[in-house]
Structure 1
């Protein structure tokens, strides 16, 4: 198998593992904050060891980079907590669909970072996403858990988009494993004051699931992504990443017997279609800028 094909398979495996993280919101009997804290502790230790094993340096280049790492970690902490909360209130399917509004949210935040102007296609993508979300909202009231989950999921998507833009502009000179080692460490430090006593009294099976989440479904996929990008274009990574909701929903159907209705499926297709379009369009614009 040539390096490009091997990297593509590795990337799909990484995205599938990231999609699997959603299921832990349902199978770990802890709050979203406790799950995120346990995930970040395990992931940070694993990623730090990975960087050291590969003979990389854990040092950052400047004090400014340490400040950015802290900011990114704080954004990721709230993103991860809201990510798991969205699925605990609603379902894996609904939570993942809400999260993948982030590519369109990114387009509307980019003018503040890159000076890119919005075009009519971006407005159309936003309308498509709105229709997709409208389809899966059962009731326009936060008293409804599914609606609340969607709202929290969109907040999580906003935080993720903001984190990605800051990372791309100020922190993309570090490898994925190196960058996430710092961010997961900051997440753990932020959440240590907010965890409940339940995590200290968690059963061995719950702790085992947290270790699985932190290693196989967090540290491993980030390492796989970093390795695959040595042979794949960023556009390929972005498009494959849009498969994450598909993998997550399929796994939810198989593992926890979740049964999304037709509105959820159709709404998801609209949201993911807009995400794929904006991903392709973003890379076209990047290529045009590079050619000038």
Structure 2
């Protein structure tokens, strides 16, 4: 019975990671700027998550007044993360955007010792250098006017914002489920982005709106639910390691659906970034179990 539950959880986890990777495709499939995509994604996802919490008998209101402050901070950070994430891929390619973003596991390993007033291990410094080199390989030049270079830089900024969000969530908001936290962050993001919303959505077709709904429901709300369900049944190390497959899933989907063929430098840079992320993930969880 236990083995059956774990197999089911593994299926849920791989499905969630595949859907997370597929999120990147919508930067190309939806004819809107990154800011507008983020707003509509958050609005629709918030509605679905609110219904989800109510159906499961969970309260939507937060427990303490200070939690609203931290929920707002998290919402601001995740809002900027999503906008830069989609903008990165709109300027470059799905592969470059996702791989640049996946420098975040190394950022976490560097930031956590600093926050905990611990010494940063030499191996983590070496890992950060390898990741920096991998990211640099994906840049066609160091010319800031080059769109691909801009995409790489935005991908790294998105990773830094995601790192900040994860560390803040762990310290100040982990008493709430992933779905509840995502609902709060999505609502805050909507409020922030509303004044900057463009008019392009008025020109969207019914098919475009369907694609946007698909992003919000199937590629945002659903994978968060599956991911959290798997997290309750599988070791954290397994969850984090499988999550490192996200760039592979995203790049493969972009090749099949968008016809984006990654260059050799992107593949080499991606190999360095993803393998280093996997190494840091395994090392972190190994240290925690000592």
TM band (smaller chain): over 0.9
1:3: how far off?
0.9
Q: Do the aligned partners of residues 48 and 116 (structure 1) sit closer, same or farther apart at CA in structure 2, a change above 3 Å counting?
A: farther
Residue 192 of structure 1 deviates from its aligned partner by: 0.5
Cα distance per residue 1:96-138 (max 9 Å; x no partner): 1100001111122213433332111101101110121121111
Deviation at 1:286, TM superposition (A): 2.2
Query: Paired residue for 2:31, among 29, 32, 36?
Result: 29
SS of corresponding position for 1:270: helix
Cα RMSD after superposing both structures: 1.1
- Tell me which of 50, 53, 64 is aligned to 1:51: 53
Bigger CA drift: 134-143 or 246-255?
Answer: 134-143
**Equivalent residue runs for 1:198-277 within 5 Å:** 198-277=200-279
Distance 1:256 1:116 in 2: 45
CA separation in 1, counterparts of 2:261 and 2:178?
34
Judge conservation of contact 2:114–2:120 (CA < 8 Å) in 1.
no
CA distance in 2, matches of 1:78, 1:126: 23
Distance 1:54 1:284 in 2: 35
TM-score of the pair, normalised by structure 2: 0.97
- Of residues 78, 84, 87 in structure 2, which corresponds to 1:85? 87
- What are the within-5 Å matches in structure 2 for residues 1-292 of structure 1? 2-288=4-290
1:146-199 alpha-carbon deviations (Å, 9 max, x no partner)? 001000110000000000011111111211111111111111111101110112
Count how many residue pairs are aligned between Structure 1 and Structure 2.
Answer: 288
Asked if the contact 1:89–1:145 (Cα under 8 Å) also holds between the matched residues in 2, the reply is: yes
Moved over 6 A (4+): none
Question: 1:53-110, CA deviations, whole angstroms, 9 ceiling, x for partnerless residues?
Answer: 1111112221111111111111000000000000000000000110000111112221
SS at match of 1:58: coil
Q: Is the 8 A contact 1:113 1:165 kept in 2?
A: no
Structure 1 portions without partners, runs of 5+? none
CA distances 1:212-249 after superposition (whole Å, capped 9, x unpaired): 00000000000011111121121111111111100000
